[in-house]
Structure 1
Amino acid sequence: MVSTGLAVFAAAAALLWTALGFPAAPTPRLDIVKVALTVVAGMGGVVALVVAYRKQRVTESAETRERVKLLNDRFGAACTQMGHDTPTVRLAGVYALASLADEWPDQRQVCIDVLCSYLRVPHEPDLDSPWSHDAETEVRLSITRILSRHLRPGAPVNWQGHDFDLVRAVLRAADFAGIHVPSGKFHLSLARFPGGWVSFDGMVVDGGEVWFGGATFEGARVTFDGAEFRSGVVRFEGADFAGGEVSFRRARFLGGEVDLSEVVGAVLPLFDEGEKPGLKLPVSPSTG
């Protein structure tokens, strides 16, 4: 470093001395020395800034790698917990993964996919009474509550706009009340609702896609009371209303498309009177 500084000093002094016509008087020579020293000091400052910048970049890169490693470790640990035999451990993994999704925007969709995939795992719930449910149903209910909290207005961390793949999910109890679907996909195609109560009360669809194609309503109470359908698509193609109740009381049909034209089964959805723009009902409801 010292030798480099001396070399810069010598080069600067030589250039200035040449530019000034090789002065012999001591005053110009002193000025040349001062200017050369200033140049060396400036060059030293630039070098110091470059070195400091590179050190900062290296430090930031190391910190980023360490943070990503920590997040990946947490992801793996949460997934391991969700696969545990004990329901309470699985529940802890669910909340750990939800917390990670809040902190990790780059991989939030992946965390959501894992939570949704848990609901797609085959499950036969306890149907002994309308209100009792087993420990596994409690884990699944907790997942739907987590999803709902993040899809409601005012959520500290909002998951709106992401995709929720609940195809073939088994939901005996679920609370989706008040969720907003302004974009993204919320798919419940081929899902099963075996008894219990699943609430979509007050949900707002305003540009997103909600699918119930081929879903089976097996004696469940599924309510869309007070929901608003502003735009977007909600479809029930081939959904089987085999029993229970499907209610759209006080729902507002303000645009978009709500297609119930191809539902099958003995149960007809319940509506209030009045115009319902965008609502499509079966021309000849099935009685089978």
Structure 2
Amino acid sequence: MWALAALVGTLLIVFVLAVGPWILTRHPQKGLTSEQALKARNDVRATLVQALAGLAVAGGLAVTYRTFRHNQAEQDRNYELRQAEQVNALYTKAVEQLGHEEAPVRLGALYSLVHLAQASPHQRQTVVDVLCAYLRMPYAPPGSASPITSARDPAQELQVRLTAQRLLAKHLYVPEDVSGEDAQKLSPTLDETFWPGISLDLTRATLFDFSLHRASICSASFVEATFIGLAMFDGVTFTSNVLFTEAKFPNNAWFRNATFADVWFIDTTFNRTASFRKTTFIRGAMFGGATFSSDPLCDGAQVMHLDDPDLNKGGKDARRVWPDGWAVRADADDPTRGTLVAEE
């Protein structure tokens, strides 16, 4: 490349100093004195030199800009690498602190993880997974007869768990004037506290006064979870599968105005009031084996896709099994939709 550049440069110099002026002043030559002809060649030579100098400057600027961009890209890569290293260091430290014996340290770790996730959208599902894993750890509430033993103070540990629940709920709460379905179409940003695209795994977790009021979540598992105190799912939207199989609700459970894509309440136990008023079941809804201490409240619950034979066929493969005493009445204006009504 250097040899080629030297050759091109030599040819350009020869053209500017000799060949160019000769070619451009050959015609017309009549009536020109030798001094006038020499002046014409010099004028042409000066013009070509200026043009060549302009090209050289332009080439230099192009090389300088290319070098600048290369250096800038290298700096950006180094900055991103340092940022990734800092994020990993903060994440590792916070996760380690979740195992600390002192409750204030564990609380600080929770806030550090959530702050990290807010600043790094690609880390949000990972942080949510860590918080869910913490809530899945065995725990005996204060005053319970559970055989689970721990060196941690149960009352302080309860505060840590309640904080983890609140932090999850805060970042799953749907922004104002946005539906639960549309919320999942939002792009994650550093300013918006809502985190789209999140899934929860709270299998076998013990949850206290658990609330996902007006939350929007992709999918979730509450298999064999125990909800102590009020379980609040009012206005929640699940855009994919959610499992409550063998979950236990010792106290009231509110699912009013909730929206489920596919939901399983198989063998779920409701020991108090369970309200599904104005809930929307888009696809599957399985209540097989669910037990209710009192009649569930399903007034105004909406059922979609009544024309889908895969969802509404009977037998052991049925995708829709309603609580005892409730059936679907198709809408007069739209036979693909229906409403749950109490059987006479």
TM-score tier (shorter): 0.7 to 0.9
Aligned-residue offset at 1:113: 0.6
Relative contact order: is structure 1 or structure 2 higher (C-alpha 8 Å, sep ≥ 6)? Answer: 1
SS of structure 1 residue aligned to 2:237 = strand
Aligned partner of 2:159 in structure 1 is 138
- Match of residue 221, structure 1, among 231, 251, 256: 251
Map 1:249-264 → 2, pairs under 5 A: 251-256=277-282, 257-264=284-291
**Quick check: 1:238–1:263 contact (8 Å CA) kept in 2?**
yes
Aligned-residue offset at 1:87: 1.1
**Quick check: 1:224–1:248 contact (8 Å CA) kept in 2?**
yes
Aligned-residue offset at 1:62: 1.1
- Match of residue 208, structure 1, among 215, 234, 240: 240
Q: In 2 relative to 1, CA 49–125 (structure 1 residues): closer, same or farther, beyond 3 Å? A: same
Aligned partner of 1:197 in structure 2 is 230
SS of structure 1 residue aligned to 2:206 = coil
Distance 1:122 1:248 in 2: 28
Structure with higher Rg: it is 2
Q: Which amino acid aligns with 2:257?
A: A
Instruction: Write out the 4+ residue segments of structure 1 that deviate beyond 6 Å after TM superposition.
Output: 4-8
Distance 1:273 1:38 in 2: 82
Aligned partner of 2:209 in structure 1 is 173
The answer to whether the aligner puts 1:237 opposite 2:304 as a matched pair is: no
Measured against aligned partners, the alpha-carbon deviations of 1:248-267 in whole angstroms (never above 9, x if no partner) come to 06x21333244322214x62
Q: In 2 relative to 1, CA 52–275 (structure 1 residues): closer, same or farther, beyond 3 Å? A: closer
**How many residues are matched?**
268
Structure 2 unaligned spans of 5+: 26-37, 145-153, 177-191, 305-319, 326-344
Measured against aligned partners, the alpha-carbon deviations of 1:123-182 in whole angstroms (never above 9, x if no partner) come to 111246xxxx7211211111111111111122832223211111111113322223233x
Measured against aligned partners, the alpha-carbon deviations of 1:224-267 in whole angstroms (never above 9, x if no partner) come to 153323x50221112234xx414206x21333244322214x62
Distance 1:127 1:281 in 2: 37
Q: Which amino acid aligns with 2:230?
A: W
Aligned partner of 1:271 in structure 2 is 297
Aligned-residue offset at 1:5: 9.9
User: Percent of aligned positions with the same letter in both sequences?
Assistant: 23
Q: In 2 relative to 1, CA 138–31 (structure 1 residues): closer, same or farther, beyond 3 Å? A: same
Distance 2:133 2:157 in 1: 14
Aligned-residue offset at 1:222: 3.6
Q: In 2 relative to 1, CA 272–40 (structure 1 residues): closer, same or farther, beyond 3 Å? A: closer
Aligned partner of 2:274 in structure 1 is 247
Q: In 2 relative to 1, CA 32–13 (structure 1 residues): closer, same or farther, beyond 3 Å? A: farther
Q: Which amino acid aligns with 1:187?
A: S
Distance 2:196 2:266 in 1: 24
SS of structure 2 residue aligned to 1:238 = coil
Structure 1 unaligned spans of 5+: none
